[in-house]
Structure formats: structure tokens, C-alpha cells
Amino acid sequence: MKRDFNEFKEYIRDKKVGVVGIGVSNLPLIKFLLKLGARVSAFDRRELSDLGPEVQELADRIEIFLGHDYLDHLDGLDVIFKTPGMRIDDPHLVRAKEKGTIITSEMEEFLKYCKARTFGVTGSDGKTTTTTVLGLLLKEAGYKVFVGGNIGTPLFDKVEDIRHDHMVVLELSSFQLMTMTVSPDVAIVTNLSPNHLDMHKGMQEYIDAKKNIFLHQGKDDILILNEDNEITKMFAGEAKGVVEFFSSTKELEDAYFMDGTLYLRDEKVVELKDMLVKGVHNAENFLAAFLAAKDYVSIDEMRKVALTFPGVKHRCQLVREYKGVRYYNDSIASSPTRTLASLKALDTKVNLIAGGYDKNIDLSPVAFQGYKYIKNAVLVGDTRFKLKEAFDNLANMKGIFVPVHMAESFEDAVYIAKRLSKPGDIVALSPACASFDSFKNFEERGDRFASLVNDF
């Protein structure tokens, strides 16, 4: 049962509220809390000059704590909205909670009060594509759709504008889900594999965080799972509502991919070869979205979206063909499973650019499972030696040799890949690692790759 937002408005008025993190996504939250009459304090590691003019304009309306000790000032608050990347067991938050402060997040409060039907998507790979496709399906059927969470725009400040007949689609990360005590009406788990183990204490904590997307559902809610993923398949036993499955390896009653065709309840929807996006992993993303949308979207509408969806930026995105060589930006691939899925989707062996920030996950699958799709491996970033060791082990243990080229910088990696390529080749930036060793995020990394390629 969704709660009446008037409860929140009455509660929050004149309360001392802290917002941790003054990034672009939290500015609407701060302004909304001020509009509701809260006394807002904001906290950030950066200095005021680094936060932009919009924050500086708010300086006379909120109390701001900045610098390396910014979290030392959380005492005396009634409510703290934490940023998703902040662990709930951070000592500063633990101390504040012990003193009676309510710790929450924008997404948790949004789901409590949102009147519309909510769809949540999580997983290790495919979240953004599945979320985007699901939003497009519902829009094609004529619904007013709000897309948010990890993508789109913050939604909490729009909660009063979202009606019962609207639809909300949310991409939810493990960091957002870790502390959630409310779940969306329809939950999708695309797949799970080791990821973000630099932030989580282990794989089990990562899995447990993902489970919160469905653990708080009711008996009439829906959970959509990947039948082919051993971890997600087991979630069915803990579900409180209806469970549906999709598969790319076997024929199921719900949704499946067989002989090049996507089926929903045994009805043919579309052939993968006719879609603009390629690869079995994209077939799986669409199957999950079809299942979620089936009560609201016709097969014809599904087919139309499938035939016209061009893909999401930074996800196996063709940047340019130059002198007969195709250059693909797959910067989103921050794990081996994502990189392997993209390599399999391309139609020839790839000159691969890989490496980046170390998330403490096993990178050996890039070599041991990816070798058959790789022509040359150009390695860069903090993990380049870890990846080189994986290819060396492949040669020593299996007798399989993949030419490896070590780059001193990201720019160097792109130019090495260009030099190695001949007409008909593919160069793919599909790093299997996060970007934080050299870039602010994967988008900045992908944009830099595209800029270098377009400057050839």
C-alpha cells in the first residue's frame, strides 16, 4: 500500500535534514526539501568553488559543510538523506543513527509515496538497456512514463506530479538497494556476477543488496528472473509474489530466445537479426522488458520498439568507420561478463582495448573465455598488469597465445589499436574494468575514446 505524501510533508516541515553529497542529482532534492519547509544542511568533500554556481546560489538558504571532515558535522539532525555510494555502516552514520537520526535515501522515500505503478531493474549487466527499453515500450503504448534511478532525472521532487495512471521505471544499483525497505511493484534482475567488490565486503553482501529489489514486495507483485543465471534463479524461492522467467538457452512458458527469435508466451515477437542492437545479451534484455510490459503493451508495439531501438550510448556503440575499420565504444563494460557479451555480439575478432580501475574482481575470464573473440589485446590503466598476467597464464596453461600490447596512457592505447588494425577489423573499447583510475566515470571515458577516434 502506497503511503499518502501528505504524511511526509507534515513530518518533514521544520525538521533538521542533512543531505550527504551535493552533486547534480541531489540539488533537486535539496530544493524540494526547502520548498517543503525543512531546515537543510548539505555535506560534501569538495570545496564550494568546485561545486558550481547553482550550489553557491543556495549557500544563503542552507548550511553547508565542506572539506575532508565534512562528515564530522552530522550530529543533531532529524533525518539524513545519504548518497547511494555511502555505506550504511559508515561510523558517522552509525553514530548519528544511535542518537536517533533517521537514515534514508531519496529513492527509498520516492518508492514509499509514488502513486504510479513502479518497475525496478537491477543486475550486474544490462540494467540501463533493459530500463530504457521498458520505458520506451510503455511510452509506445501511450503511457506517461518517468524513467529514473541510476539514469534519467531525480524523481522525488516530482512525486506529487506523478499520478496513478502514470508508469515509473527505475534502474537500481546495489548501492541504492543496500538499505531499501521498500520494493517496486515489478522487479527485474537481469543477471548477477562478481562486481563492485571494491565497495562491498564480499559477493554475498552484493547479492543480498540486490535481493532488496523484491524482498519487500507483496503477494500481487511480480519478480522477473534470468533462468540461465544460477544466482538469480535461486531468488525465486524467496519471492513473495508472482515469479516469471526468461531464458536464452531453453524454451520456457514465459519468455525465451530460440533459433534467432524472441518469444513471449510462445508467441513470436521479433527476430534478433532484424533488430538494430545485436547479441544474445540484448535479446535477454528485451525478453525481460517484454515480460514486465506484457500487461500494458501489445506484441505489435513490442516489435516496433525492438526494430527501431538503436542502443544506449557507451554500450557497443559504433562511433565511426575509418579506413575500413569499425570503432565501437563499449565503455559501460566495467566487468568481464559485460565485455564477453559484447565481444560475442560482434561479427569478427576484435582489437580489444581493456583495463582500468581495479574493483577486486577476477579478470581472468577476459583471457580464458574471451580469447576466441580477440585479435589483439591492448591493455591500459591500473589493471593492465593483472590482465597481462591472465593472458600469460592462458598461454602457459592452455598453449593459446593472444598478442598483448601494453599502453602507457589511454590515448596511447587508442593509437596502438589504430596502428594494429587493417580494413575489415574492429576496434572495441570494452575495458572489463571501471574508469576511476583515469576518468570521472565511464561516460567520460567513452566520450574521450569517441573524441580520439573522430579526430583521426
Q: Cα(95)–Cα(66) distance, rounded to whole angstroms?
A: 19
Q: Are 77 and 41 within 8 A, CB to CB?
A: yes
124 labelled ligand-binding: yes
Establish whether 127 is an annotated binding residue.
yes
- Cα separation, 367 vs 60, in Å, equals 55
Region for 424 from its dihedrals, namely left if φ exceeds 0, alpha if ψ lies in -120 to 50, beta otherwise: left
Q: Was 181 annotated as part of a binding site? A: no
Looking at beta carbons, which pairs linking 368-374 to residues 24 or more positions away fall under 8 Å?
A: 368/393, 368/394, 368/398, 369/336, 369/340, 370/336, 370/339, 370/340, 370/343, 371/400, 371/402, 373/340, 373/343, 373/344, 373/346, 373/349, 374/343, 374/349, 374/350, 374/402
446 touches 331 (CB < 8 A): yes
For residues 120 and 170, the answer to whether their CB atoms sit within 8 Å is: yes
Local structure of residue 2 (DSSP, 8 states): P
**For residues 418 and 358, what is the distance between their CA atoms, to the nearest angstrom?**
25
Distances, alpha carbon 165 to alpha carbons 49, 114, 116, 133, 222, in Å: 43, 11, 6, 19, 18
Instruction: Tell me the H-state helices in 67-126.
Output: 91-98, 106-113
Q: Are 236 and 230 in contact (CB under 8 A)?
A: no
Strand-pairing partners, residue 271, are 261
Q: How many CB atoms lie within 10 A of CB 438?
A: 16
Q: Which of 258, 248, 244, 210 is nearest to 228 (CA)?
A: 248
Q: How far is CA 296 from CA 138, 182, 289, 300, 355, in A?
A: 7, 23, 12, 12, 42
Type of residue at 58: L
Nearest to 214 by CA among 184, 234, 178: 184
Is 331 in contact with 416 (CB distance < 8 Å)? no
314 and 443 in contact (C-beta within 8 Å)?
Answer: yes
Side-chain half-sphere exposure of 307, counting CA atoms within 13 A: 11
Question: Binding site annotation covers 128?
Answer: yes
123 is in an annotated binding site: yes
Show binding-site residues. Answer: 123-129
Show binding-site residues for ATP. Answer: 123-129
